Amino acid sequence: MQRYFLERDAFVDEETIQITGADFHHITRVMRMNVGDQLICVKPDGQAGLAEIVDVTSETVVATVVKWLKEDKELPIKLAIASGLPKGDKLEVIVQKGTELGAHEFIPFIAARSVVKWDDKKAGKKIERLQKIAKEAAEQSHRTVRPIVTEPLNLGGLIKYANGYDVKMVAFEEAAKQGEKGALVSALQNIKAGQSMLFVFGPEGGLSEGEVTQLTEAGFTLCGLGPRILRTETAPLYALAAVSYQLELLR
């Protein structure tokens, strides 16, 4: 069943929902829904309701809540992915697939070896597009939380931002080459439900020695992601799958 993340003002009261804008267009033009059809509407706080369309005007779909749902779709921890700005559409892939795998937040990271540079005008358009991709992926994967995509941060900003996280990890290919295997396993075995984790990944050229030094001095733990060297768009997905396996399938 089609799912839509709506703003709070769409929920007129506990029973009535008014849908406008892009979601109205998707419902009426793409899905071709009409009176009597059902859909799932999600509040900003994650509460989802099964609703039935009762009226369609030229600009608004009006729906009535049939019942509020009790869903458990989110990872037990809040996991943020900080990705060194990669080339092309790789960040879009990370956000889309990372959302499907349960990431709570995405942080574009202006790394020393990032070839891509975002000026203020470009950053605004990029973030807007990434937010749209996250919304659509969250709807497709039937999540109850729409992930956040932050403004780009440099290393200093990322380290400061990381103060709000319980566990801080860095995927470092030199650690993988040296056979490091225990850091991520230990972190996932010890993290508690409700806690948060920030995972940093470098761009195509990896993290510089200076960045690694500053991150470790700031309390980040270096870890390998298996014996193979992963692409910048693959590594976050590996980490998310590992988190899901440890915290959702094994527990």
| For residues 15-34, average pLDDT | 96
Confidence label for 197 from pLDDT (cuts 50, 70 and 90) = very high
Higher pLDDT among residues 117 and 94, named by residue:
94
Handedness of CA 123, 131, 35, 62 (dihedral sign): negative
Taking residues 91-105, report their average pLDDT: 98
Average pLDDT over residues 50-63: 97
Q: What is the pTM of this model?
A: 0.91
Average pLDDT over residues 139-149: 96
Higher pLDDT, 7 or 122: 7
CATH class of this structure's domain 3-69: mainly beta
Q: How far is CA 209 from CA 112, 167, 172, 181, in A?
A: 10, 21, 10, 20
- DSSP of the chain: --EEE--GGGB-SSSEEEE-HHHHHIIIIIS---TT-EEEEE-TTS-EEEEEEEEE-SS-EEEEEEEEE----S-SSEEEEEEE--STTHHHHHHHHHHHTT--EEEEE--TT------HHHHHHHHHHHHHHHHHHHHHTT-SSPPEEPPPB-HHHHHHHGGG-SEEEEE-HHHHHTT--HHHHHHHHH--TT-EEEEEE--TT---HHHHHHHHHTT-EEE--SSSPPPTTTHHHHHHHHHHIIIII--
Give the pLDDT of residue 179.
63
Quickly state the pLDDT bin for 176 (edges 50, 70, 90): low
| The two domains 3-69 and 78-249 share their CATH topology (first three levels equal) | no
| pLDDT above 80: residue 175 | no
**What share of the chain has pLDDT > 70, as a percent?**
98
Give the lowest-confidence range in 49-58, 83-92, 161-170, 180-189: 180-189
- Per-residue pLDDT, averaged over 6-13, amounts to 95
| Mean pLDDT, residues 34-45 taken together | 96
Confidence band for 181, pLDDT divided at 50, 70 and 90: confident
Write down the pLDDT at residue 236.
98
114 pLDDT more than 70: yes
For the chain, the structural domain boundaries read 3-69, 78-249
pLDDT at 51: 98
Lowest mean pLDDT among 69-73, 137-141, 209-213: 69-73
- What pLDDT, on a 0 to 100 scale, did the predictor assign at position 178? 64
Please write the tens of the pLDDT for every residue from 204-248.
999 999 999 999 999 999 999 988 889 999 999 999 999 999 999
Q: Average pLDDT over the chain, rounded to whole?
A: 94
Please provide the CATH number assigned to the domain covering 78-249. 3.40.1280.10
Confidence of residue 177 (pLDDT cuts 50, 70, 90): low
Average pLDDT over residues 5-18: 95
List pLDDT tens digits, range 214-226: 999 999 999 999 8
